[in-house]
Chain A
């Protein structure tokens, strides 16, 4: 393994030709790691031909496709290669998927924001189409016919007039000599000829997942590796005041301890600091850590108490804040005789709790680093280690393993930096293993938020004025010390884009300091912003004694595209252009009307412990309407017999995997609603494992989640995250419908629904 590090410079790629005749347009480097497989080794990133960095063909016809994004459960590792294979007319059974190392030539590898398909749909099609054209031209040349007379079938070029056919494998050597087609020469297949896109394939790793063969980060192993457990400062920014490591060193298997410096703010992806115990195996490292005698200087964040902080947030939410969108004059309307309805909403911090805790294995040799980690963002691994060790990022090879869940946590490579720091100091490969306690107590938390909503109600029960104000420590605080206001990127998530057609509307955000690391968490700000908007809407509909769905359709108004420019609102639109991905209330209406139909809305009356709740939300460019059925028994136990989603995500590449994302989103949302709560006391997190940070288990998950995908020609949008935001308010609205108890604060585990079933 170690010798291979020397071969990995960008220049080194050209030297590694293993199969001289191969038509290889892949970027690929295969180190001698524990789980490199021999077949994949024959494909090396080398060749003057680079119509795409994503694909290469071997002379036996094997098609290698690079998965440059991370696989954490969304099947991007399957669905992205499918797009390329489709344009190439490749036989899926002859496709081998190669996981990319971190390399900027692939474009962004930061697998977050539900954008793998939407950002790479066309680049991957171009890669497949370019390779297909080169194969066609090679065949035409051999046969002495015009390429225009040639077509492709499954893994072969066909010349229909003469009946000649050639398997891709036979053409690879000749195709490698063809010039790379220009973009304008490349033509996509018509949709009617798509083989895989829109139909779908099972996850590439499905059988391995079910047989224990799939390799996650925690399964990475290299010779001479030691295992590290780190005692992190209990409070963010804390430092080691004194250390006695003798009892730890006495533990069987413990080799040494190493103190890691605490980061200098902002925390970014730097190590938290603390004391690492290096040992022969994971268990010894954990045992050794228990024996460390450390006195901490907790620092400034020891003032953080969640109970008190909640009150502060709620106070701030009732004071004027920064105005992000303003139409008409809400104050004038509030000062009139109109009926006023106000409500406050609160959601605590949440921890990601992916089933595989964060980990990283690093091997530092001089100014070269090789790292194996279950990361969502290998280029950030390179950049963060480079910055910490003060070496060029090109010297860092980041191998991406399968991820045992990510949910945004694994976009932050602090653990990879820890492993690199420790490997440099120890002079050997170090695998940092975070325990579940580390994961829950030292997360980049989903922020804590308070929202204040206020409406003036007209004679018909509709809002004549609407004010919404939300307050939370911003993700920006992780990257800029002292940041207290939300960014436009957070505000866009169901806040500045409230789609209601209202004469008087004001959208605000108030300041809040951060005392823990704040980070992205599946669906991010949409969670609390959708909860406030969609619950408040339900409250207003209840006040008007109106059908919820009819009420929201009236608020949304006729189909139109929201013109943010005209309103002077900065709207990043998740990085998508508003021309391609408008905020289209017409598409909202369709998902709403469809979910009413699919769920049998209105057929069974709510009440007496059974309730139907509704919510709609656009996030990550996808429109989702959700109806949840809840049952509450006399003991106050809540069951979720059925969830219905209608989804408009534009073109859907892999329908079954998309459905699975929404099935999972309903469970993830159930966890947020039922149990999600992380609290701090004197700056330290009070929860530590699944007994006091509970997540949903099988018996209390939605029993049946139906997912209906709207078929249309709109460009592809996100599917990994958009299912979460509408689920939470729809579920809570269902509980209200069943019990008459309004949910304004989560988690539900703090509320008592016993004896309320009949109200």
Chain B
């Protein structure tokens, strides 16, 4: 048991990777158990991630040296810098890892019935496992070139998954092409920044770069490249136009995993600006840049969402808008990082609100995309003009949609209200205008989800949907799990904030802890 715990960082990343290569073999012999095999593998990964979370939150960060003689030996005899690839998981990394594990497990369960009628399923499941591997690697690694490799693994698998349904019409292929171009540009700019770091400091480990960083001109260029490109991968305006295309054309379970992948890029942005640079950069400038990107994303995202006719494009624009909330809170935290009085007064609270919002957003946005997938599964269309009166036939889907829409609009007692309240109150102390814009965006969010609820579920019963029934049980199970998580997080938010979010925020702010774990040797 304790050896599973010592090797758990590698296990969590390697288990989906090896299963991805076994999936075509299993699919060749028995097609029916393929979905169950994948669900078991991702369930095991979820279990190991939870064990790892309990260990990290009680005992501190965990490191794993690949190829070392023991797992914690970062500096073998005679070396002053770490030379191997190291997975370095602190409280922020395991926070994102928990989100990824839950989301990919529920995607596998949902796909059991959702993708039953499609062919080529072994390729779908192999790509889903590779996408999970890529995301885990992005969130756990402590080495910046390793981050580039896992970023590319996740991008290539998600492009193939977005273009999965391109046998019927050409739009998924077009969405996949656009996403591939955008993610190639971003990955190559990340590689260029890695080259800049390596050329100056001769090390690739993020903690070592952080400890020897002098903020030269080349470091400024690398910072600008990384901030721009990682916020583009997270879907912030004005580089957001790939998001509605990619999220609407992917199968519904994959859209939920893509939301988590965009948030992994957001995590990388925070890791670069807080742990790699910390106060050596000009935090007020970079903080205000991130705040302005956040406010633009919030406002333009929600105003473009109100006029959409396609249900998944509407939800994708809302994903852009909620990413703006996360950028706003962390930007406020970054802007006051050098000012200890303001940091204690509202900076830490603003970051807590945003990071809590990351987890809430993954849950309720995932639930909304799964209900949109359920509507598509039964009616065959995503166009809101053609749907109507489905609340009579699909009772449980309606309940789950109401829970998801109330959570995203920030209505008590669900979890969206808790994180948005923290963001409003702490950003108000920084600059009142930003908080007022955030509240206005929340009202418009509620308006657009009332529109979706009215068009799809309310209204008279239509002729063509007389025989529509409730969706199969595996899809209901996935949606019910997310709804339970939303209600529980809403009723007891302090448990999550005290135990998961606050350690994550302190791990981001204290750069000395991050470097001491690796360079102090454990």
* Chain B associates with chain A: no
Chain A residues within CB distance 8 Å of chain B: none
Chain B residues within CB distance 8 Å of chain A: none
